[in-house]
Amino acid sequence: MEENNLKSVIEALIFVSGKPINLEQIKKVVSCADAASLRKVIEELMSEYVTSNRGMRIVEVAGGFQMISAPNFAIFLKKLFKDRSPEKLSKPALESLAIIAYKQPLTRSQIESLRNVNVDGVMKSLLEKNLIRICGRKKIPGRPFVYGTTREFLEHFGLKSLEDLPKTEEFTAMAEQKEANNDIEVLEEKTAEVINEAEKITPEN
């Protein structure tokens, strides 16, 4: 397959995929190229979208690639969809999710000890949204479940991996950028509030 055709095919696959599509999935469709070649083509596409100031971007999220609208055009999209009310996570849910994201795996009681409130409803909601999962049991009496985040968590917040979570020293800089109205920015804000307390938790080995 010619390089331009390959690039067009990959672009179409990323466009129609409802979720991030990974290199193995693309390779099954485009059998004439290896993973390294596919990544090179995708990176060329990503660069082209930026340099030509296109309205779309290709980003690497949750182990795959996804097409999104360019962040600098968000103001126009908000005007188009001003009558829509996208479902957002509640403040208690974001606070609990921030603790889990940074200190996973940990138990329900550990989360409650940090938030000083019952988190049964919040945990149920996060599990139903598939933002967290049960990832084992703690080796203590009672063998309570321990919780961690999911791939859907990465997708929801536009993260390649947990390594992309903001570092604690970045929170001050974030607070100075006041544009926040989406979940990732609120998560950063909530995490800034709980991170010092969360340091009291020792992650599982």
Q: Verify that 75 and 103 share a domain, yes or no.
A: no
Indicate whether 119 and 50 sit together in one domain. no
Residue 40 has a pLDDT of: 92
Last residue of a domain, one of 80, 112, 135: 80
Can you give the residue range of the structural domain that contains 21?
Answer: 3-80
Give how many domains the chain has, as a whole number: 2
pTM for the structure as a whole: 0.60
What is the Cα–Cα distance from 19 to 67, expressed in whole angstroms? 9
Q: Based on the domain organization, do 116 and 75 belong to the same domain? A: no
Residue 122 lies in a domain: yes
Is 11 part of any domain?
A: yes
Record the tokens describing residue 59, joined without a space.
């980003």
In this structure, the answer to whether residues 192 and 167 fall within a common structural domain is yes
Among 49, 80, 111, give the residue marking a domain's end. Answer: 80
- In this structure, the answer to whether residues 98 and 167 fall within a common structural domain is yes
pLDDT of amino acid 200: 45
Same domain, 13 and 64: yes
Same domain, 44 and 11: yes
| Residue 148 domain-assigned (yes or no) | yes
Q: Specify the pLDDT at position 21.
A: 92
> Domain check: are 37 and 129 in the same one?
no
Cβ 96 vs Cβ 111: under 8 Å = yes
pLDDT tens, N- to C-terminus, the chain (205 residues): 555 688 999 999 999 888 899 999 999 888 878 888 899 999 999 999 999 988 889 999 888 999 988 888 878 877 777 765 556 778 888 888 988 988 889 999 999 888 888 889 999 999 999 899 999 999 888 899 999 999 888 888 888 888 888 775 555 444 444 343 455 555 655 555 554 444 444 444 4
Q: What is the pLDDT of residue 2?
A: 56
Q: Please, what's the b/e burial string for 166-177 (b: 16 or more CB within 10 A of its CB; e: otherwise)?
A: beeeeeeeeeee
85 belongs to a structural domain: no
* Shared-domain flag, residues 99 and 181: yes
41 lies in the same domain as 98:
no
Q: Does residue 37 lie in a domain region?
A: yes
Q: Which residue has the tokens 């999962």?
A: 133
180 and 146 in a single domain? The answer is yes
Contact, 35 vs 23, CB < 8 A? yes
Q: What's the one-letter identity of residue 117?
A: V
In terms of domains, do 98 and 185 share one? yes
- Whether residue 22 is contained in a domain is answered as yes
Structure tokens given for 142: 């009672």
CATH number of the domain where residue 30 is located? 1.10.10.10
What's the pLDDT at 38?
92
| Radius of gyration, alpha carbons of the chain | 20
